[in-house]
Amino acid sequence: MNPQPAEVPVAQLECAINHWRERRPSADPEKPSLCAEARALADVYGLAIYHGWAGVSRASLSEQQRAALDAALL
């Protein structure tokens, strides 16, 4: 088993969000919303963009965020 990198690049967060958006699209195109996995990752992605971070520490992610990220990047 390969160890996970200590930092998750912003581009990986974006790819994971897009994965969940494609896998679980909004049920109502008139009122789009993100599924729980994409929403969890969007929180940390938004902070990274706002602060200009190149990535985020994997240790700083919640259990839900790590699970969503790992499942999207398999």
| Residue 5 CA neighbour count, 13 Å, CB half | 8
| Chain-centre distance for alpha carbon 54 | 14
Residue-level pLDDT at 2: 54
Name residue 52's beta-bridge partners. none
What is the per-residue pLDDT across 23-40, written as a single tens digit (0 to 9) for each?
999 988 889 899 999 999
What is the residue extent of each domain of the chain?
A: 7-72
d(CA 18, CA 62): 19
Residue-level pLDDT at 27: 87
Q: What pTM was computed for the model?
A: 0.88
